[in-house]
Chains A and B, each alone.
Chain A
Amino acid sequence: MELIWDGIVEAVRLIFGGDKEVAEIVFLTLRVSGAATVLATLIGVPIGAALGVWQFRGRGVLISIVNTGMGAPPVVVGLVVMIMLWRTGILGGLNILYTPWAMVFAQALIALPIVIGFSMAAIAGIDPAFRQQMLALGASRSQALYLMVLEARLAILAAVMAGFGAVISEVGAVMMVGGNIKGETRVLTTATVLESNRGEFGTAIALGAILLTLAFLVIATLTILQQRARIR
């Protein structure tokens, strides 16, 4: 108990004491996971919407792949991305291994199936008559799809939240493709692992507390947005 209490005291000191290293770690964590979520949203929402509405050959197979991807262990995704980014790998030419870009890439890949899966469910929850009515008013197929996404915006926001929650808390992929380099690719999760390994449990708990608080703040903001939109 005392250990946790000490950790919380240490966390307060690290946050309000203006520790430069911790500030950098927090900032990088937000940037990497934020960028990965934005990327996954831009790609995943249209795909999820299309999978939820359009009927085409191979749809069932794609849905199975997405569902599998939703449960894929981050460390496996990290491994695959790492191999791809090796100098000899298919994306080796990008030369981004052990940079924040590699971390964004890996996290986006983790968030993508989650965003697609939740978006698909969100769109499927809309009355099919709605799409028919939009088409009847002269919508093209993609215009109708766009309006369905707008209509399901609250549920889509939940998809984005789930994606962000998954990537900000994962450690396996960022560790493998980022390398946990101090001042360059160290984020809250990898820093927590490192401090624990070094026996610095106070610092580890402090970093964990900061991570929890960050996740809570971001999700709380999105939830408030969602609630406000619903009341309107």
Chain B
Amino acid sequence: MTESHAIELIDVRVWKNRRLILDVPSLKLPTHETFSVIGPNGAGKTTLLRIISLLDRPGEGQVLHAGQRISSGRETLRRRRRLAMVMQQPALRNSSVWENVLTGHRFRHTPKDIASRKVGEWLERLGISHLSDRNARRLSGGEAQRVNMARGLVLEPDLLLLDEPFNGLDQPTRLALMDDLWRILQEIRTSTVLVTHDRGEAQALSSSVAVMLDGKVEQIGDPDQVFTAPRTEEIASFVGVENVLAAKVIESNNGLTTASVGEGLVSLAGEYPTGEDLVLGISPEAVVIEDPSDLGATTSVRNRIPGSVSRLFEMGAQARVVVECGFPLVSLVPGSSVVDLRLSPGAQVVASFKASAVHVIRSGR
């Protein structure tokens, strides 16, 4: 018997107050990999995780764990004890860190010496051995989240479910924890489901990602594909492909298409029938801002469109620039470019991006 899927959902539907909040006809999660579920708040991510964790039953449909149906209550408890779910809020017990991490093994009646050894090992792996005797209610947010994770990892489960584990942490703490989690997941190779609303977390930690919108899984694929080639405008706007443009094909040959967008022209890869309507997506990261004096320089970049800066937000090391070049185009540039190019509202610039950076979200009349 092969266990090719850690989890399989078949025709799962969940209603809340007569509203369908989860509708998943089919979803298969791979074993020994990290699978991310991303979506905005209220998209049904946590509901999905609770169904997978067997904490809630779906109103309709089946959830298979390692190919098996779970029917009786006793079976549910046994299966629940082979997975671990780490919830968004740490909800730690009012006792020592050690006792908190030991909790799951207490539920399972693990022999004391084995449990102690594992608790010691996982405190070490998460870098919180020194907190062992501290009261868990007196920890910082980052420390508490590490204890929260240790509590799940110490069970060495078949399936690890993480619900927004980095929520509410400040940036350095978050990055450090993400780094450690990534390393640990690489080492243990446990089938993991990570629920997040953050694209960066999904990209950094998982090998495949599902985008959930409004209770439905809208797209599944490897993170790079999903984030650069979203299937619909809704997914595009959620995953941060901010430039979603309506275009009309003017001409198309030799694998290259020219389309009109607003009052400007855009070149893109691929051939489409003349006159066809397209919806184009361009990631802000793919759009580079240049000085107009560079316009003469030769380059392989197809799209070099002169325009003027209409808005500018500086956000730490990066700046978000909106260039009006016949249509509004959002660009994410390094903060240093703001100084180097003397960017300010009204400044004349050239927005450039490769034809291959233009992704066709939808085509048709």
Closest to A131 in B: B91
Q: Is the CB of B151 within 8 A of A137?
A: yes
- Whether A127 sits at the interface, judged by CB under 8 Å, is yes
Q: Are A136 and B85 in contact (CB under 8 A)?
A: yes
Q: Is B37 an interface residue (CB 8 A)?
A: no
Question: Could you tell me if B87 and A138 are in contact, using CB atoms closer than 8 angstroms?
Answer: no
| Binary flags per residue of B30-59, CB closer than 8 Å to A gives 1, else 0 | 000000000000000000000001010000
Q: Interface stretch among B102-110, B178-186, B247-255?
A: B102-110
Q: Which of the listed residues B84, B94, B155, B161 has the most CB atoms from chain A within 10 Å of its own CB?
A: B94
Residues of A within 8 Å of B53, CB to CB, are 136
Residues 134-171 (chain B) with a chain A CB within 8 angstroms: 135, 151-152, 155, 161
Are A129 and B84 interface neighbours, CB within 8 A?
Answer: no
Chain B residues whose CB sits within 8 angstroms of the CB of A143 once the complex forms: 107
A window 142-192: CB within 8 A of B:
143, 147, 150-151
- B 105-129 to A, binary, CB cutoff 8 A, 1 in contact else 0: 0011000000000000000000000
Contacts of A137 in B (CB 8 A): 84-85, 103-104, 107, 151-152, 155
Given contacts A130-B91, A135-B80, 8 further A-B contacts (CB under 8 A): A132-B87, A136-B87, A137-B84, A137-B104, A138-B84, A138-B108, A150-B93, A151-B94
Interface size for A (C-beta < 8 A) is: 17
Q: How far is the CB of B96 from chain A (nearest CB, A)?
A: 10
Nearest neighbor of A144 in chain B, beta-carbon distance: B107
Closest to A229 in B: B94
Most buried by A among B84, B107, B108, B155: B107
Shortest A172–chain B CB gap in Å is 39
Which of B80, B86, B93, B161 is the one whose CB lies under 8 Å from A138? B80
- Determine how close the nearest CB of chain B comes to the CB of A229; give it in whole angstroms: 9
In the assembled complex, A232 has its CB within 8 A of some CB on chain B = yes
Q: Which residues of A contact B91 (CB under 8 A)?
A: 127, 129-130, 132-133
Contact indicator A136/B81 (Cβ below 8 Å): no
Check A134 for interface membership: any CB of B closer than 8 A: yes
Residues of A within 8 A of B80 (CB): 135, 138
Cβ of B203 within 8 Å of any chain A Cβ, yes or no, is no
CB <8 Å contact, A133 and B107: no
**B89 interface contact, C-beta 8 A:** yes
| B interface footprint on A107-142 (CB within 8 Å = 1, 0 otherwise) | 000000000000000000001011011111111100
> Contact: B89 with A138, CB < 8 Å?
no
CB-CB nearest 6 A-B residue pairs: A136-B85, A137-B104, A138-B81, A133-B91, A130-B91, A129-B91
| 13 A-B contact pairs sorted by A residue (CB < 8 Å) | A127-B91, A129-B89, A129-B91, A132-B87, A133-B87, A133-B89, A133-B91, A136-B53, A137-B103, A137-B107, A139-B107, A140-B77, A143-B107
Cβ-neighbour of B107 out of A127, A132, A138 (below 8 A): A138
How long is the Cα–Cα vector from A1 to B81 in the complex, in angstroms?
69
Among A127, A132, A134, the residue within 8 A (CB) of B103 is A134
Asked if B55 and A232 make an inter-chain contact with CB atoms under 8 angstroms apart, the answer reads no
Against A, the Cβ 8 Å flags (1 = close, 0 = not) of B303-326 are 000000000000000000000000
